[in-house]
Chains A and B, each alone.
Chain A
């Protein structure tokens, strides 16, 4: 293989020649084993599997050349670790260490398929050989995640061979900054971080703002619990983010960029740092990019572990080395942002969409999605669905299709109760709205929001009051404390919710919650505070009966809130094995051999140990 690294590309033609050469090389070594090491697969031991494949390759000194690659999140985390073998794009799932020699011998060397490691389509019982035969994948449309699972994120050569860094030379040589902004405008791209502000309008305001230097920022502070879209992009295809930012910086007139990455994502930092180094060596970042007069460089900052830093002004404060407290935004950050200079901030996914828009044109992008929400959106589909993972779907798809077709429905035959979107600022959407189309405006109408793309599915066993309490507790802890409504309001709301879930709620407390929510929405300083009551408001809107059951009947319908339901032993299911009896810390269970056991409700402290330990699920919540 030719060493291209350390050689600066001085003009776009050289880049194209290099690309041709790389593509020829990659085609000739046609045997490739791709091991997904996204967070889901990594947790299931994918790194070890990758090592074993490497060992297998090195020990097998035959003439065929086999390349092993670590790739970013492939999406179907539920079935990880995922291994894909080329040629044939054979999709193996739930691969374990002992499977490696067999895959290597049968598929890599022999070209035969190992049937037992294929995915079985539940509806038909057929084995799927390729990813696109699996319903989870074939309903998706991938733009931001297009190269995820395909390329080695640590190799710029891979990205270039796959068609990366095509948009950048096009933007630099064939388009003016205004052309680029117009193209993004035609695409109708809206910010993927949550707010959905039109990206082109933001860029233009920043371009036109007075002040120098100008900054561009990539917001990688993906703080919403239950969301890992940006993580997957930063770790699976970091160069797309860099390319998007470089194009944006050129359009805006900036020469310095920052990527702010969450503290909990050390691998994202490592991947981005490596990619920035590579891009600099290749002349795709730094002084005089591709021989053009335009220069741009990127620094990475790690967050300190504060949710509020996802808010743009708080993030900028953090970049200035201060506590991440937001400020009021009557002066927009595009005019006075980082160090009081014009600053344009976009989310990771927004930046990752830019190269595709420049390559394929705004019209193409605008052809996907709904009237006001164009393109695709990445969601992390998690919770009690069968197929948890990362999905990218065209805007306008219904929630029902995402949950049932892609997600494969609810796990363990349970009933669907709600889907939570938009993170702690979002809300819970119930069954009756499952046919709602997923776009920015539709979700807002339903009292939730698009947010950055967390989608948490909840089944009938989830107590919605507890969900509201969880998010309120989260936000109360993460509130920076600068403004009174947020600092004090959230504490009060949490206090009320705690009382309700303990069965101490009073009749007018739902109304009190609504009043406080209203106050917060109207008076809090930043978006965190203004939207903080959404989880409460949306659960009251759709699940008022659950609040009432807690308050009026002192009962938790989902049987989750301790003290608001009882444990009983089903005499017919009980095998009188004595396990619950031995484990009960209060000696509240009586019974003898062959006689069904009984819980003494007076002694029972509702700790739930018997319910967890019973091997026959004979302990019931009533």
Chain B
């Protein structure tokens, strides 16, 4: 735990312990840990003299925070108006069906976490999907599945094939 305490101390110091910067602190914590572990939130709250309930309120209000570990990769599917009209829901359905994951969730094998977001601001090339920050333009259900299949590490694919 000492190491984690140290991490939180660093983050608190980065913002001079200003409780107004609670959201950036939690963002930094999440980018370090991949999610917000409850123990860390308790420690951070204690450190800032802010009740844990308030940290929990913030963590659950904003859609970018998560309280559970995420997958190996980040998949963001844009559901902005243009992407939506150009077929994003069908892409989402296809991914959910193929990888057994709902938006906001992580695949059972922890390969990726799927986020459906409102708009990533690349409407001119809709529908858009992001994998670990890389943009894919004019995605279709078929191309989305293809892109995501490639996330499997090579040896896994080999294993899978031999199993089959």
Separation in Å of the B50 CB from the closest CB of chain A? Answer: 8
**A319 adjacent to B20 (CB under 8 Å):** yes
Give the CA-CA distance A558 to B153 in the complex, in Å: 43
A265 touches B121 (CB 8 A): yes
The CA of A226 and the CA of B78, in the complex, are separated in Å by: 10
Interface contact B81-A470, CB-CB below 8 Å: yes
A68 in the interface (beta carbon within 8 A):
no
Chain B residues closer than 8 Å to A305, beta-carbon distance:
62-64, 117
Task: For B123, list chain A residues within 8 Å (CB).
Answer: 225-228, 380, 382, 388, 456
- Residue contact B22 to A44, C-beta cutoff 8 Å: no
Q: A306 at the A/B interface (Cβ < 8 Å)?
A: yes
Interface centre among A225, A380, A462 (most CB of B within 10 A): A225
Q: In the bound complex, what is the Cα–Cα distance between A510 and B117 (angstroms)?
A: 30
What A residues does B19 contact at CB under 8 A? 321
CB distance from B114 to the nearest CB of A (A): 15
The answer to whether B125 touches A43 (Cβ under 8 A) is yes
Q: Are B121 and A264 in contact (CB under 8 A)?
A: yes
Question: Which one, B5-13, B133-141, B144-152, B154-162, is touching chain A?
Answer: B133-141
B33 interface hit (Cβ, 8 Å): no
Q: Is B68 an interface residue (CB 8 A)?
A: no
Using an 8 Å CB-CB cutoff, how does the interface string of A308-329 with B read, 1 for contact, 0 for none? 0000000000111111100000
Cβ-based interface call for B2 (8 A):
no
Interface positions of B from 36 to 57, Cβ below 8 Å from A: 50, 54, 57
Query: Which among B82, B117, B128 is the interface contact of A43 at CB below 8 angstroms?
Result: B128
Number of interface residues of B (CB under 8 A): 37
Tell me if B108 is interfacial: C-beta within 8 Å of chain A: no
Q: Say whether B121 contacts A222, CB under 8 Å.
A: yes
**A304:B124 contact, CB within 8 angstroms:** no
Nearest residue (CB) in A for B123 is A382
Complex Cα–Cα for A382 and B65 (A): 30
Cβ contact within 8 Å between A225 and B64: no
Tell me whether B23 is interfacial, beta carbon within 8 Å: yes
Please tell me if the beta carbons of A323 and B58 are within 8 angstroms of each other in the complex.
Answer: yes
Q: Does B21 contact A (CB under 8 A)?
A: yes
Q: Can you spell out 14 A-B residue pairs with CB atoms less than 8 angstroms apart?
A: A43-B125, A224-B119, A225-B82, A228-B119, A264-B120, A304-B64, A321-B19, A321-B21, A323-B58, A323-B61, A323-B62, A324-B61, A380-B124, A390-B124
Residues of A within 8 A of B (CB): 39-40, 42-44, 77-78, 80, 222-228, 231, 263-266, 301-307, 318-324, 339, 380, 382-383, 388-390, 420, 454, 456, 458, 462, 467, 470-471, 474, 478, 480
9 A-B pairs with the lowest CB-CB distances in the bound complex, closest first: A304-B62, A321-B22, A77-B124, A225-B80, A228-B121, A43-B135, A305-B64, A323-B61, A225-B119
Given pairs A39-B124, A303-B62, 17 additional interface contacts (CB within 8 A): A39-B122, A42-B135, A223-B118, A223-B119, A225-B84, A225-B123, A226-B80, A228-B122, A264-B117, A264-B121, A265-B121, A302-B23, A304-B58, A322-B22, A380-B124, A456-B85, A470-B84
